[in-house]
Structure 1
Amino acid sequence: MKKVVILTTGGTIAMVKKDESVVPYEKGNMLISEIPELSKLKDIKIEVREFSNIPSPYMTPKNMWELSKTIDKVLEDEEVLGVVVTHGTDTLEETSYLLDLTLRSEKPVVCTAAMRNIGELGTDGPRNVYSSVLTVLSPQSYGMGVMVCLNDEIHAAREVTKTYTSNVATFDSPGYGPLGIVDEDSVIFFRKSLTREKILVEKIEEKIALIKTFTGDDGSFLKIAVKLGYKGIILEGFGRGNVPPLVADSVEEVIKMGVPVVITSRCFKGRVYPVYGYKGGGADLRKKGAILSEHPIGQKAKIKLMVVMGKTTKIEEIREYFERDIKRRPLEHG
């Protein structure tokens, strides 16, 4: 019999209310296996395996990398059609994107979660798990990359982000939209992402810092990050990837130390691009050796740099992974 494996990692979907707070369920992820709709699926075995039972802020790059290797091992089984990963919402977008970049199999992998714990009125966890299993079972899911399914919407891992602190409709793909939906028991795809990629590595670089610039920033945090041992830096700038002038000096200094600096934006739509040539503008930073990220969201670029630096630490080789749309634009011209 063919089967779908549900790998549980913890999060609100595996939590209950105790006194005045929400805490991990003492029986682990058993709540997932008690969803009645799963037992009604014909000719499909649902197998629940616990990977961890932690709140998603506890998720680390090491955990994500171990999860990736675990999923690849699970998918080697010919009886396994695909995998559903249950996860906390806070860092789901990071974990799903790392999986999307590093998994070797093209079998469907769907990450899901819950915004409301199992004891809360209108809990969304059971439906999200069921919809995710249906997504795995859809023939169109093969080769779609890692997906995120909540609130009956299916999103690409590279594109999706958490947009709301509490609403069940928190996950969105700004500038892209969902890949499809789950309507009752039907899975309907609208499109396929053309931006996904695989970067197959044997290791990742965990020590990547994510720093957000701000008005009046003097660039100190970049130099401190290097002193603390961070091997790469994601710098979230303004607009097209612009930063205050003193930050530009620090960017140049850090790059001369051999530490790659990838520029993103606090805007979650569009892309950073070498437009502005004033000191601290995106074009100026690129002349100084900074890399402009094709993806504006900082946490996504951080995951990608972790993976890329598992393959190479050379700044110009790293650039090739982030500047595919602007690589014909010479550095000396900004």
Structure 2
Amino acid sequence: MKKILIIHTGGTIAMMEDKETGAVQQNQQNPLLLHTDALSTIADVKVEELFQLPSPHITEKEMLLLKKQIEKSIVEDEIEGVVITHGTDTLEETAYFLDITVQSDIPIVVTGAMRSSNELGADGPYNLISAVRVATSDSAVGMGVLVVLNDEIHTAKNVTKTHTSNIATFQSPQYGPLGIVSKREITFHHMPTIRETYDIEEITKNVVLLKAYAGMDDQVLRAIRTIQPNGLVIEALGQGNLPPKMVPELRELMDSGIPVVLVSRCFNGYVQDVYNYEGGGRRLKDLGVIFSNGLNGQKARLKLLVTLEITIDHDELQEMFYK
């Protein structure tokens, strides 16, 4: 059997519901530890509780700690796959961060749950078993970090949480899942063609994420300039357009050396330099705005955090965001 490291980090999958109040919270003991023995029929399992945090408490610090722990275990324990249990609110961000930073092709699978461990129809134990099965699959090698919930296998790059409470919340709007988990086998029906990784040791930058809206002016941009971030990601309108009143202050930001990355607030499609009006994508590209290749805002922010540790050159950053 393959040697699999399971890292528990907290989240709903490791919480319990108070039957009197309905409040969902952590207990002293992680209920997932009760299922460790059942997993021994699937893999040679090693379990670590790296931390116990609800996912809104996760920061880049914890993501980097996960990266380093995984790479250390690959070398010291010769593990052949990793499963991470995680709260769902920021699960896609941790998965994507690991996807672009972990220097290994072994299967790394992130999973979670929408229902706490003692709720009727709890999905956590089943998702954990499915994730371990995927991590042991030879077909998962070289696929990058995968997200497995509700019998589906998604790439970290494309998956996103689409519903506040439905157990089928994780979807990949652009491309759909990579594969499925059935009772008998793990099946991949397509695979990613490109994987990028950046070998970093620390996160030292501050990147702000902003969402555009109709009638937006420059007030928020002026406020952002006062905190002097290292980068800015804007979820733009449509194919990559902004209200015209934002443009002068946007120019000031970039002139002061702050790179600005553009994504769309739409969950399908790409930003493109098409429209040639004030605030249109073509003029924004001419100003020096960096266009991203289909990432959502939260993932583009993480990518900018990571790539700024490698370079601050505008052209190099644009090339990285084309991938």
Using structure 2 for the length normalisation, give the TM-score.
0.95
Distance 1:185 1:74 in 2: 29
Question: After alignment, is 196-205 or 98-107 more displaced?
Answer: 196-205
Q: Which residue pairs with 1:189 in the alignment? A: 188
Question: After alignment, is 107-116 or 194-203 more displaced?
Answer: 194-203
Distance 2:235 2:289 in 1: 12
Q: Which letter maps to 1:5?
A: L
Matched pairs, number: 321
Q: Which residue pairs with 1:24 in the alignment? A: 26
Distance 2:286 2:34 in 1: 54
Distance 2:308 2:78 in 1: 34
Q: Does the 8 Å CA contact 1:93/1:161 hold for their aligned counterparts?
A: yes
Give structure 1 stretches of 5+ with no counterpart: 325-334
Flag the 1:113–1:229 CA change in 2: closer, same or farther, 3 A: same
Q: Which residue pairs with 2:125 in the alignment? A: 126
Distance 2:31 2:307 in 1: 36
Distance 2:240 2:157 in 1: 20
**SS in structure 2 at match of 1:262:** strand
Distance 2:57 2:228 in 1: 21
Question: After alignment, is 191-200 or 160-169 more displaced?
Answer: 191-200
Distance 1:180 1:155 in 2: 7
Correspondences of 1:32-181 after superposition (within 5 Å): 32-34=33-35, 37-41=38-42, 44-77=43-76, 79-181=78-180
Q: Does the 8 Å CA contact 1:134/1:185 hold for their aligned counterparts?
A: no
Note the C-alpha offset of 1:52.
Answer: 0.8
Q: Which letter maps to 1:311?
A: I
Correspondences of 1:188-267 after superposition (within 5 Å): 188-267=187-266
Distance 1:131 1:185 in 2: 11
Give structure 2 stretches of 5+ with no counterpart: none
1:7 matched to 2:1: no
Deviation string for 1:126-160 (max 9, x for gaps)? 00000000001111111110000000100000010
Note the C-alpha offset of 1:45.
Answer: 1.9
RMSD of the alignment, in Å?
1.5
Flag the 1:66–1:153 CA change in 2: closer, same or farther, 3 A: same
Distance 2:67 2:221 in 1: 30
Percent identity of the aligned residues? Answer: 45
**SS in structure 1 at match of 2:80:** strand
Distance 2:246 2:158 in 1: 28
Distance 2:322 2:104 in 1: 26
Deviation string for 1:80-124 (max 9, x for gaps)? 111100000000000000100000111110000000000111000
**SS in structure 2 at match of 1:159:** coil
Using structure 1 for the length normalisation, give the TM-score.
0.92
Deviation string for 1:271-292 (max 9, x for gaps)? 0000011010111111111111
Q: Which residue pairs with 1:332 in the alignment? A: none
Distance 2:161 2:289 in 1: 27
